[in-house]
Amino acid sequence: MRLLLDTHVFLWYISGDVRLPAAFRGPIRDPVNDVFASLPIDEGAFIHLAKLPRLHRDPFDRMLVAQALQHDLTIATVDPAVRAYSVKLLPMT
């Protein structure tokens, strides 16, 4: 699996924060998975960004969704606004 961590998930993971869903820990640690915290932004991401519905106003979260779509990544997030998009999401349970 190719995971894209939302910023809060990345910070919770590296700090050992209890708010990180237990279901996220295994996939993030699994050496079989590719885990990304950020990706270069290129034209392909902007194509996906332009097609996204206006479910979320945060431009960084919308870019996260666009990058996940462009690169076929699964997003690890607890943000309900990001989870509202039609994108692959890591289950929280």
| Domain-located, residue 66 | yes
Question: In the predicted model, is pLDDT for residue 64 greater than 80?
Answer: yes
| Domain-located, residue 10 | yes
User: Average pLDDT of 62-67?
Assistant: 93
State the pTM of this model.
0.89
Beta bridge partners of 34: 2
* Mean per-residue pLDDT of the chain: 93
**15, exposed or middle or buried, with CB in 10 Å at 0-12, 13-18, 19+?**
exposed
| Domain-located, residue 13 | yes
| Domain-located, residue 88 | no
Which residue type occupies 89? L
| Domain-located, residue 60 | yes
CA pair distance 5, 27, nearest whole angstrom: 11
Tokens of 87: 């994108």
What confidence tens digit (pLDDT) does each residue in 27-61 have? 999 999 999 997 878 888 888 888 888 887 888 99
Tally of domains within the chain = 1
CA pair distance 20, 71, nearest whole angstrom: 24
Name the residue range of residue 12's domain.
Answer: 2-83
- pLDDT in the model for residue 42: 81
